[in-house]
Amino acid sequence: MGNRGMEVLIPLVNRLQDAFSAIGQTCDLDLPQIAVVGGQSAGKSSVLENFVGRDFLPRGSGIVTRRPLVLQLISSTSEHAEFLHCKGKKFTDFDDVRREIEAETDRVTGTNKGISSIPINLRVYSPNVLNLTLIDLPGITKVPVGDQPPDIEYQIRDMIMQFICRENCLILAVTPANMDLANSDALKLAKDVDPQGHRTIGVITKLDLTDKGTDVRDVLENRLLPLRRGYVGVVNRSQKDIEGKKDISAALAAERRFFKSHPAYRHMADCMGTLYLQRLLNQQLTNHIRDTLPALRSRLQGQFLSLDKEAEEYKCLNSDDPSRKTKALMQLIQHFGLDFEKRIEGSGDQVDTVELSGGAKINRIFHERFPFELVKMEFDEKELRREISYAIKNIHGIRTGLFTPDMAFEAIVKKQIVKLKGPCLKCVDMVIQELINTVQQCTNKVQHPLMHPFVILLYVIRILYRLTICMMEKCNMVVFSFFYCIFFFYFFKVKSVYSAILRRIVHTNY
């Protein structure tokens, strides 16, 4: 393990990550970290659960990990878990940890198997772990399921690339042994950003499931596809073991017996298994942080000096300077805009645990309430067939035709589209109401009272305009025209009032 004094480096980086997550900002310091990459059912979740010694990750078919999970393992005398978004609450039952991960995932992504790059921060204290931080990323998939968008594969790939393309990120590429290494999605992505294999650690799972008479000895000995940091083989619990609640400690003992008794792996048994992998990652991450510490310190000092210089400018602030007034006004508007965006994207510094709000509620309106309103629409198939028949006959007139005329199709479709007006307008009303509530919440953080009416006007107009364009693109012209009239009626009605307020803001001493 080397110098034990270096072990404080991992908790130090953990505190930096928590600090950036707490203020709702992305970390642009390129902190040293380990990202876990692998395909669906590659065994990523089982490896992480073996580290902790508890079942705490969601399981199921399809994409289960739909948000990055920043898992911080901390060696401690007691055993419990904490979430960054549930400050002060300790979880001693790891079934509750699983349910909280699922609930927090649905809060941001909804229940339609969507994904989000906003991470969940989980800290696990246990006497059975070493200090280690891992980022569990969504499994690589090829085919969309449920309500997932058709480009789900590229969305997941882009999210993974956001993490592993950073030079200070180590890549834990998980590949099952019963898959040809040349077809490994994890190793393919790792090779794209780390062609020399300097940052990649290979993990081969499911060694006990290879065909009889075959093995992956060449891979584990780092001869087939060499990586500078090598490969480690592990044996996870089978699905039957998981469903039967097989104890993880018993599974680790069985894994040890497997490597000791297998003729192809017994000579390297001391360098295989979950426990060895955990020690290796702890050592690799500690050394990696130590190596990158000088550059990280330089970047921190540079940013500190930049902020210190900006703070010096405010010490000499002249309240009578018109340029200062304008700058202060624009900064207030900018802060308001950032807060509004965070509440919609779900990365705000204050998480509501009582009810859905902001982007999560809008997501629910579009994916649950709107489809429900459409299902409630009455549809008489017999009447529709009669209308189609009459439309075709009326268009043909005295003539007879073999083909259905386009005019008949357009007439029927237009009539059916008009029926969508009610559900569309109801959906728009609910979305607008939630956006207005979000704007009102954001204005509570604006310090200057005269900014409130101006900011509300600015963002309501912007919201109405965007929704108008959306309705024009997605719905029929009837709905668009109705919404367009509402927008401009509101705008011209309040324009004169808020123009006077704006003039007062600009000419008021701050």
- Candidates 287, 283, 271, 185; CA nearest to 231 is 271
- Candidates 232, 271, 233, 237; CA nearest to 251 is 237
468 falls in which pLDDT band (50, 70, 90)? low
pLDDT at 204: 94
Q: How far apart are CA 127 and CA 286, in angstroms?
A: 19
- List beta partners, residue 202: 173, 231
Q: Please classify residue 12 by burial: count the beta carbons closer than 10 Å to its beta carbon, then call 0-12 exposed, 13-18 middle and 19+ buried.
A: exposed
Longest CA pairwise span in the chain (Å): 96
Question: Is the pLDDT at 69 greater than 70, yes or no?
Answer: yes
- Cβ neighbours, 10 Å, residue 497: 11
Element (H, E) at 200: strand 200-205
What's the mean pLDDT when you consider all of the chain? 77
Interval 342-385: pLDDT, tens: 787 776 556 666 677 788 888 888 888 888 877 777 767 777 77
252-287 b/e (C-beta count within 10 Å ≥ 16 → b): beebbebbeebeebeebbebbbbbbbbeebbbbbbe
More confident residue, 80 or 447: 80
Interval 19-61: pLDDT, tens: 666 655 545 566 788 999 998 888 888 899 889 888 888 876 6
Interval 142-182: pLDDT, tens: 777 766 677 788 888 888 998 898 888 899 999 999 888 88
467 falls in which pLDDT band (50, 70, 90)? low
Q: Percentages helix, strand, coil for the chain, rounded to the nearest 5?
A: 55, 10, 35
- Candidates 203, 212, 331; CA nearest to 276 is 203
More confident residue, 392 or 131: 131
Q: Which residues contact 303 (CB under 8 A, 6 or more apart)?
A: 29
Q: Comparing 21-25, 36-40, 449-453, 504-508, which segment has the lowest mean pLDDT?
A: 504-508
Pairing type for strands 80-83 and 120-126 reads: antiparallel
Q: Nearest 5 degrees, angle CA 130-CA 131-CA 132?
A: 105
pLDDT at 218: 92
- Considering 15-29, 80-94, 361-375, 441-455, the range whose residues carry the highest mean pLDDT is 80-94
pLDDT at 302: 83
CA distances (Å), origin 288, targets 9, 185, 201, 509:
10, 25, 13, 52
List the domains of the chain with CATH numbers. 31-294 (3.40.50.300), 338-377+419-506 (no CATH)
This prediction's pTM: 0.61
